[in-house]
Structures are given as C-alpha cells and as structure tokens.
Amino acid sequence: MKKEILLGILILVAIFNVFAEGEIHIGYVYPAGGQRGTSFEVVVGGQNLGHVTGLFVSGKGVKGEIIEKVSTKDEKKPKPAKVKGQENEQIAQQIRLRITIDRKSDLGMRDFRLITDNGFSNRIFFEVGELPEMTEVEKNDTKETPFILPKIPVVINGQILPNDRDCFRFSALQGQTLVCETKARRLVPYMADAVPGWFQAVATLYGPDGKEVAYNDDYGPQPDPVIIYKVPQSGTYTLEIKDAIYRGREDFVYRIAIGELPFVESWFPLGGTKNKKSRISLNGVNLIKNKINVSLKNDISGRTSFTVKGKGKLSSNPVTLAENDYPEIFESPNNNSKETAQVLPGMCVVNGKIEAPGDVDWFQLERKTGDTLLFEIMSHRLGTSLDADITLFDSNMNVLEQNDDFFDRSEGLETHHADPRLIYTIKANGKYFIRVRDVQHHGGPDYAYRLIVGVPVPDFDLRIVPSNLALNKGGTTAFSVYALRKYSFNGAIQLELKGLPEGFTHSRGIIKAGQDQAQMTLTAPREALLGTLGLKVLGYASGKAENKDARIEREAEPAEEMMQAFSYQHLIPASDFLTTVETALPITLSSSIKSDSILKIVQDGTINITLDVNRQEGFEVPVQLVLSNPTSGIKMKPVLVAGNEKHGTVTIETQNIQPGKEITLIISGVTRPGKNAKIKTMTVLCPALSAIIVSK
C-alpha cells in the first residue's frame, strides 16, 4: 500500500496531530515476544521511525531502550536500517531495541507501541512467555538442513520470507504428547496489502524416517496451526512451517512453542452468570486437573479468560468464558428430536453441545402473541469449532425464522462470523420449537455452545479510535467514537470525557440517532502538565428495561482500526486509552465559537468562520487552513494565512444535505517551519465545531 493511502486512512480515523515525515507506523516486532526474567534485542519494522524516543508496553514488567536508531542523515528520506529488498514502505525502516522482562511479569499478550516526540505509535502484539526462547538461524529451509533445537520445551521465533520455509529438529521420547502451537496471525492480525489479510501459517511434523506424521493449517476457528501428537517411538522429529501460498516478507513473524505443553482442547460450559463462580470441565493434553472453578469478572468486554497449570507447572493456552444475567441451565441428554424437545423455563441460557456428527438439539418454549424474543448462539466467538444454525418452528413444524451467520462488528478479530442470531415476534399463542445444529453436520467435544433465549433489549457498545492520542500544550487533538448498536437500538448517544484535568475541554459529543460515528476534539490549556492522562469516554442514552424507561451507560473500549486485504476494516480492542500531553507548538488554532454552540447553515448555502491563528513570538510562517474531515456534501477551499496575520476566514459550502442533519467541522492548519527545523511539516487543529443544516 502506498504511503499516501496509509495517511488517508489515518485521517479517516481522526489522527490529526503534528507529525514528522508522516505518521509513525509499526508493522512488526521481531522476535514478537520473550521469556520473563530475560533481556534480549528486538527489531521493529515500520515507517517514519526517525524520531522514536522510547517504548511503551501495556501491563507491568516490560521495559525497553533504543540501541540503534534509524539513520536520519538524509532528512527527506530516512535510511532504512538493514532492510534489503523490502518493497513494502510500511515496514521499510527498522529500529533496534533491548527489551527487559521482569521475572514476575504476567504471562500473555501485550500491546506494544513506540514512543515519539509526539505521542505513541499504532499498537502491535507482543507476548510475555515462560519457556526458554530461541531465534531461527538460516539456512534451515529443508528437512536436510534444519535448525537443531538442543532441547524442548522451547519457543522458536522466526520470519518467513518469499518462497521460504523453516525446519526445526528436536528429540522426543516415546509416550510423550507433543504440542506444537504456532502464533502468527495472533501477532499481526491484519495486513492491509496482503490476501487473505494475514500470514497463513501451515505446520507439518515429520517422524524419524522423514515421513509426515501430522499436519495442520488452522486449529478450530483460529487460523494459526496447532499440532498435538502422541509420540509412538523415541527419536528425532522435524517441524516445518511455511505460508500456505508461499508468500513471505519481514512482517510474517511467528512464535512456535514446542514440548509437552498443557493445552486445553475443549471446555464446558462456555460461561456462566456475571459475578459468580462457574465449574468448568476441561479436556486436553498434559493437564493436571480436568475441572476448575472460575470467577466471572463482569468485565467491560463481557468475557473472562483464564489459564490452568499443567505438566511441569507450565501454563496452558488461554480459555475464554462468556457472561450473562439470565438463569443458566444445561441441555438434557435426550433432546434429539421434536418429540423429546427440552422444555425451557422461559428466559435463560442453555449450555449445550453437539456431541457427535449429525447430532441435533431441540428445545420447546411456550409464548404469547406479541412477545419479541432473542435467540442467539455464543460459541465460535469463544473459540470452538461449531458453525451453528438456529431454526425456529411453530407447533406445526412450519419454519418461522432461520439464521446461520450473524455479523457482529464488535468481534474485530473474527472474519468468519459463524454464530447465529435471530429475533422474532410471536404471532399467536402456543408452543414453539428451536433447533440447534452444526451447518456442516460435524460434532464432538469442541462443539459446545451457549443458547441465549431472552428479550432483545436495545443496547450499544462503544469503541474509541485511535487508542492513543498526542496532545500538545495549548493544542487540540481529534478522535472518533463508534457506536456498535445492538437489538435495534437507534437512539442518540451523548458522549463525555471523564477524568479531564482542570482547564482541558472537549467538543460537543453526540452520536445522532441512526448514525454510528461521532468525531470529537480534545484541547489542552497552555499551562497543562506534561505526561500521560488516564481518561475514559462514556456514552449515555435513553432506553428500555423490563418495559420501563431506563438510562443506558456504556464505557468506550479503546480500539485500533486495521485494514485487511485492501478493503475490510476491523476494530481491534486495545488494552489502554492513552493520551499524552507534549510540549507546546509555536502555533495553535482557535475560534471564539463556544464548544457547545451549534452553527446554522442554510441548505445548499455557505457560512464564513473566522479562526484565530495564535503564534509564538517570532513564528511568522504562512499557514494553510484546510478541512480535515471532509464528508459528502461539505466543501471548503483552502485558505492561506500569511506569516504576519493572526486570523483567517474560511467558507464552508453545503450541497444536497437534508435539513436537520448535524455535521462536525474539524479545520486544520498546515505549515512548514523551515529547512533547519526538526519538524518539517506541522499540522495543528482547531477545536471541532458543530453545525446543523436548516431549510432555506
């Protein structure tokens, strides 16, 4: 993808701040993780890495320092550090860091960002592990020339380059149950310029005689392969990894854990009641326990994840549970036909399982005319192999409604939305039947589900993009808030920033009825303290609960917007919402219009807006005013403000916009301080202005 396209995407998601040589972007870190209690070097590949000052990793216990910066001798085009033949501009530069992980650091995936003079980079994933680690050494691209692993368990870090494959040889003993778990897509979930949009790893295990003994190209709903193999005879085994279609480049990074590792293959039930303990049965290999009590946390995500200890006191892969408020029941064992359908007590969550290929589960419910019901399966989103189908029948076995897949935008890492959802309003009193089955007629321990039978209460979730904001003292930054509307909620959502220090202000925040996005700005006072702010974005709306008026309040989850395969956009949750206050710039934009005011623009008309150009003494550089967030029907010609002028007037034009529509205007000023300045191009924002289209 070209640099100009990347910058266009960044503008769409409202990353409007001062930038040097363009916005910083990181595409990978290699190795993409490390063992706690160790220190090691990593390479970060990306774009515009010339002004990196440090590292930020979410959670506690991970620190980093720069040991080799990108060369900036040619300021117009910073030289990549040892990236030969790399044609992708987004990963054409490198920077080297030394990472130190505390021995008590929590295990698992972290958000990894670089820090620049102007805030944080985008987020990529970095794993804190517990096993010894090694990094592949080329050439190891054939079974005859493998990289030798002295012993297992171990984590291998590698990269797949064009037409590359990597081979690793190790010794295993008869009776061992080997687990070879690859992480590739989980490290770099989406690539904007690759099809299918990620590194599709394929793993093959060869026995002592060189013949294939196991193969995997994905594990359940997860594109990353996992091989589980019971060793029949002692000897040397070889693991091969490659891309499914023989692509490769520096951001095709992977981590493979090899050894007698605890691995949970399936679990039941898949969740429980919020704020209560659930008894979970586990099925897998190298585990010590097959049952565990888990406290559900009532997290903002509606999920609880946990690991269990296994052989060698090692931790298993993470297991995810869903939470709900409805009563929990279990599927009866003899509900395989309409005649033996399980009678449901009313609104509830049924914990069930498609036990074997061809299994079908039936449920019966008695309802009255006018009742509106929700039937939803939670399964694939939690990590199972089930591709469920729900069908609703009346008492005469007429099909009333059916659903196979439901697109859930809140699940940013899902590309196959295999969980079904249907909403139906009962037309007549009587008995109704629900059938649950696997579309492919498969079944087994890994085909568990949660059938939610309830009332579709209108609701919403919120995502804030980007998850990292840079804000200069006295300056303004911008962000977007997305509404993920649920169960026909169509109302307006009021937005508010919580935790603002004194003197900070934000623009009017509202997601209008029927709309899914709002753009807002945050402005810091000149006397603001430098550092990172802990802010929250809250959304409020009027709704219904048990047929009564109710107030809905939701906290926005920070997210990163990522493009897949040139076109698809995904909102990927992030760990932290970071706002960094940086030093003041020599210029800011402002207006005399109050933040809660709403301008009126006549349909197909114009409005003039005067902005104040606030300059530090001696900063007499021309500034070009442009509309940062152009939308359909809104135009503004750029206006050049001379270096000795302190005001600029812009004209907003509207075309073919219906009266009553509200719009947000974000106007930026672009200036070039000069050849000798550290920052070549400087972009500042005016606080957002709200306007409404009125009739002529």
In tens, the pLDDT along 418-473 reads: 999 999 999 999 999 999 999 999 999 999 999 999 999 999 999 999 998 889 99
pLDDT beyond 70 at 21:
no
Across 220-239, average pLDDT: 96
For residues 115 and 542, give the distance between their C-alpha atoms in angstroms, rounded to a whole number. Answer: 40
- Determine the pLDDT at residue 3: 32
pLDDT beyond 60 at 4:
no
Across 555-574, average pLDDT: 89
Least trusted range by pLDDT, from 82-91, 144-153, 180-189, 650-659: 82-91
- Determine the pLDDT at residue 158: 97
Contact (CB, 8 A) for 401 and 391:
yes
The string of DSSP letters for 361-376 reads: EEEEEEE-TT-EEEEE
Across 519-524, average pLDDT: 96
Q: Which residues pair with 691 in a beta bridge?
A: 599, 663
- Report which of 319, 413, 419 is spatially closest to residue 379, judged by C-alpha positions: 419
Indicate the pLDDT class of residue 232, thresholds 50, 70 and 90. Answer: very high
pLDDT beyond 50 at 5:
no
Dmax over Cα atoms in the chain, in whole Å? 86
- Report which of 455, 377, 436, 380 is spatially closest to residue 411, judged by C-alpha positions: 380
- Determine the pLDDT at residue 546: 53
pLDDT beyond 50 at 13:
no
- Determine the pLDDT at residue 75: 36
What is the percent of the chain where pLDDT is above 90? Answer: 76
Tokens of 225: 């392969």
DSSP letter (8 states) at residue 315: B
For residues 416 and 281, give the distance between their C-alpha atoms in angstroms, rounded to a whole number. Answer: 27
Average per-residue pLDDT in the chain?
Answer: 90
What is the percent of the chain where pLDDT is above 70? Answer: 92
Sign of the alpha-carbon torsion through 654, 493, 460, 532? positive
For residues 270 and 691, give the distance between their C-alpha atoms in angstroms, rounded to a whole number. Answer: 47
Q: Where are the beta strands (DSSP E) in 501-591?
A: 505-506, 510-511, 517-523, 531-534, 536-545, 548-555, 557-564, 568-573, 578-582, 587-590
What separation in angstroms does the CA of 326 have from each of 92, 282, 346, 453, 489? 51, 24, 10, 9, 20
Least trusted range by pLDDT, from 33-37, 78-82, 120-124, 205-209: 78-82
Peptide bond into 60 cis (omega under 30): no
Cα end-to-end span (Å), the chain: 44
- Report which of 411, 30, 34 is spatially closest to residue 184, judged by C-alpha positions: 30
For the question of whether the overall pTM of this predicted structure is more than 0.85, the answer is yes
Q: For the CA atoms of 10, 14, 16, 21, what is the dihedral angle to 10 degrees?
A: 0
Indicate the pLDDT class of residue 82, thresholds 50, 70 and 90. Answer: very low
- Determine the pLDDT at residue 83: 43
Tokens of 166: 């990597």
For residues 574 and 469, give the distance between their C-alpha atoms in angstroms, rounded to a whole number. Answer: 13
- Determine the pLDDT at residue 307: 95
Instruction: Please tell me which residue, 169 or 10, carries the higher pLDDT value.
Output: 169
- Determine the pLDDT at residue 545: 54
- Report which of 496, 676, 671 is spatially closest to residue 596, judged by C-alpha positions: 496
CA atoms within 13 A on the CB side of 366: 3
- Report which of 682, 630, 669 is spatially closest to residue 8, judged by C-alpha positions: 630
Indicate the pLDDT class of residue 311, thresholds 50, 70 and 90. Answer: very high
393 three-state secondary structure = strand
Q: Which residues pair with 134 in a beta bridge?
A: 156
- Determine the pLDDT at residue 77: 37
For residues 474 and 523, give the distance between their C-alpha atoms in angstroms, rounded to a whole number. Answer: 7
Q: Taking CA 184 as the corner, what is the angle to CA 416 and CA 560, rounded to the nearest 5 degrees? A: 65
For residues 349 and 695, give the distance between their C-alpha atoms in angstroms, rounded to a whole number. Answer: 51
Across 18-25, average pLDDT: 58
Indicate the pLDDT class of residue 225, thresholds 50, 70 and 90. Answer: very high
- Determine the pLDDT at residue 379: 97
Tens digits of per-residue pLDDT, 28-54?
Answer: 999 999 999 999 999 999 988 888 889
- Report which of 647, 668, 557, 10 is spatially closest to residue 302, judged by C-alpha positions: 557
The string of DSSP letters for 318-360 reads: -EEEEEESSPEEE--TT-SSSTTPEEP-SSEEEEEE--STT-E
Indicate the pLDDT class of residue 87, thresholds 50, 70 and 90. Answer: low
Amino acid residing at 197: G
Contact (CB, 8 A) for 492 and 541:
yes
Contact (CB, 8 A) for 640 and 646:
no
Least trusted range by pLDDT, from 111-120, 270-279, 380-389: 111-120
Tens digits of per-residue pLDDT, 314-340?
Answer: 999 999 999 999 999 999 999 999 999
Burial grade of 407 (CB within 10 A; 0-12, 13-18, 19 or more): exposed
- Determine the pLDDT at residue 301: 76
- Determine the pLDDT at residue 676: 59
pLDDT beyond 70 at 18:
no
Indicate the pLDDT class of residue 260, thresholds 50, 70 and 90. Answer: very high
pLDDT beyond 90 at 646:
yes
- Determine the pLDDT at residue 413: 87
pLDDT beyond 50 at 540:
yes
